[in-house]
Structure 1
Amino acid sequence: MEESLYLLKKTINTYSDCCFLYCGFSQTEPKHSFGPAIRDQFLIHIILKGEGYYSIKNQKYFLKKGQGFVIPPNVSTFYQADEKNPWSYVWMGIDGKLVGDYLSRMGITNDRLSFDIQDLDSFKSLIFECFTYEKDTLTNELVLQKQVYKFLELLSKSAAIHRQEILTKKMNPYVGRTIEIIRQNAYKNISVASIADQLSINRSYLSRLFQQDIGCSIKEYINEIRITISCDLLSSTDYSITEISEKVGFANSQSFSKAFKLITGISPTIYRKKRVGLGRIRKEE
Structure 2
Amino acid sequence: MRHERFHIPSLISDLELYYCGIEEVITYFTCGPSIRDNHLIHYIMKGKGFFECRGRRYEVKQGEIFAIAPGELTYYETEPADPWTFCWIGFGGRRSKELLQRAGVSVDEPVRYIQEGDGIPGYVGVLLETLEAYPSRDLPASKIHGALYNIFAVLETSYLASRPQLPARTETADYVGKALRFFETHYQIPTITIKDIADYVGLERTYFTKQFTKATGESPQQYLIKYRIDQAQRLLATTDMTIGQVGKSVGIVELAYFSRLYKKVVGVAPKQHSLGFHST
Q: TM-score, normalised by structure 1?
A: 0.53
Partner AA of 2:118 in structure 1: D
Q: Deviations over 1:148-181 (max 9, x none)?
A: 2111111111347999xxxxxxxxxxxxxxxxxx
Cα RMSD over matched residues? 2.0
1:8 aligns with 2:2: no
Higher relative contact order (CA 8 A, sep 6+): 1
Partner AA of 1:81 in structure 2: T
C-alpha contact 1:52 1:87 (8 A) present in aligned 2: yes
Aligned to 1:78: 75
**Equivalent position SS for 1:31:** coil
Q: TM-score, normalised by structure 2?
A: 0.54
Matched residues, percent identical?
A: 26
C-alpha contact 2:117 2:154 (8 A) present in aligned 1: no
C-alpha contact 2:12 2:94 (8 A) present in aligned 1: no
C-alpha contact 1:112 1:161 (8 A) present in aligned 2: no
1:17 aligns with 2:14: yes
**Equivalent position SS for 1:100:** helix
Runs of 4+ off more than 3 Å: 159-163
Partner AA of 2:35 in structure 1: I
Between the aligned partners of 1:159 and 1:50, the Cα distance in structure 2 is: 22
Aligned to 2:58: 61
- How much has 1:69 moved relative to structure 2? 0.8
- How much has 1:23 moved relative to structure 2? 0.6
Aligned to 1:157: 157
Between the aligned partners of 1:57 and 1:101, the Cα distance in structure 2 is: 21
Q: Deviations over 1:6-60 (max 9, x none)?
A: 111122x213311111110011112200112211111011100000001111111
Partner AA of 2:77 in structure 1: Q
C-alpha contact 1:107 1:161 (8 A) present in aligned 2: no
Between the aligned partners of 1:51 and 1:18, the Cα distance in structure 2 is: 30
Between the aligned partners of 1:50 and 1:44, the Cα distance in structure 2 is: 17
Partner AA of 2:130 in structure 1: Y
C-alpha contact 1:114 1:161 (8 A) present in aligned 2: no
C-alpha contact 2:43 2:87 (8 A) present in aligned 1: yes
Aligned to 2:91: 94
After TM superposition, the structure 1 = structure 2 runs for residues 1-285 of structure 1, keeping only pairs within 5 Å, are: 3-11=1-9, 13-134=10-131, 135=134, 136-159=136-159
Partner AA of 2:112 in structure 1: F
Between the aligned partners of 1:108 and 1:99, the Cα distance in structure 2 is: 11
Size of the aligned set, in residue pairs, is 160
Partner AA of 1:115 in structure 2: R
Between the aligned partners of 1:153 and 1:62, the Cα distance in structure 2 is: 24
Q: Deviations over 1:87-118 (max 9, x none)?
A: 11111011012111221122212211110012
User: Which one has the largest radius of gyration?
Assistant: 2
C-alpha contact 2:103 2:152 (8 A) present in aligned 1: no
**Equivalent position SS for 2:140:** helix
**Equivalent position SS for 1:45:** strand
In the alignment, structure 1 segments of 5+ residues that lack a partner are 164-285
Aligned to 2:260: none
